[in-house]
Amino acid sequence: MSQKAALRRELLAARRLLTQDDVGRTAAVLSASAQNLPELTTARTVAAYVSVGREPGTHALLDALRARGVRVLLPVLMEDNDLDWALFEGAEHLVPAGRGLLEPDGERLGPRAVLEADAVLLPGLAVDARGMRLGRGGGSYDRVLARLSSAGAHPALVVLLYDDEVVARVPEEPHDHPVDAVVTPAGARRFSARAS
């Protein structure tokens, strides 16, 4: 088993121990902290995601961003694991999709719509002191980050995590991209510079 796979297994096992109350309380704290993050307070368009299961909750944050007039893009998983995007128009417009995900039911804007984002909220399992993020291993966000990079787009990259998911070191591969900030219940942390 690779180092990434072993770390993913360990982190997912820890998340399975969380109760729904734990997840709900954490979501409220994360939403409040993330809303005050300068990268999000100044953003006009934010690409985000809908949390499911025991992921750090994004629902309250999505509602707050939308209420503030921010244009929120949500991913739509395509057959090849790449991501299309659609506008978030409220929880009543989210529909069940494959892999237990929730997706917006509106018009598809295309994979390049993410290039309009001032900030991108990325799902993750861990981040380290260098800002290197460990995702779930599906590769969807690797494609998004590569698309941003190849287009010369530099939105703020932010990941929401539980406190114990900020780790000493995340195994990395050449295609991995660091994030600019992490928000946990303990607060926000910025990384001085993106790794090269």
Q: Does 139 belong to an annotated binding site? A: yes
125's CB contacts (< 8 A; 6+ apart) are 7, 8, 11, 12, 134, 135, 136, 161, 165
133 is in an annotated binding site: yes
- The answer to whether 8 is annotated as binding is yes
Q: Which of the 8 DSSP states describes residue 135?
A: -
Query: Which phi and psi (to 5°) does residue 144 adopt?
Result: -60, -45
- Angle, CA 176 vertex, CA 174 and CA 179 arms, to 5°: 140
Phi-psi category of 69—alpha, beta or left, where left has phi over 0 and alpha has psi -120 to 50?
left
Is 112 assigned to a binding site? no
φ/ψ of 34, rounded to 5, equals -65, -35
- Identity of the residue numbered 60: A
Cα–Cα distance for residue pair 180/195, rounded to 1 Å: 10
141 is in an annotated binding site: yes
> Could you tell me the CA-to-CA distances from 64 to 13, 40, 67, 88, 139 in Å, in that order?
30, 11, 5, 12, 28
71 labelled binding-site residue: no
Asked whether residue 140 is marked as a ligand-binding residue, the answer is yes
> Is 6 part of any known ligand binding site?
yes
Q: Is 102 known as a binding-site position? A: no
Spatial distance between the Cα atoms of 84 and 86, rounded to a whole number of angstroms = 7
Known binding positions: 4-8, 50, 55, 133-141
Known binding positions for substrate: 50, 55
Known binding positions for ATP: 4-8, 133-141
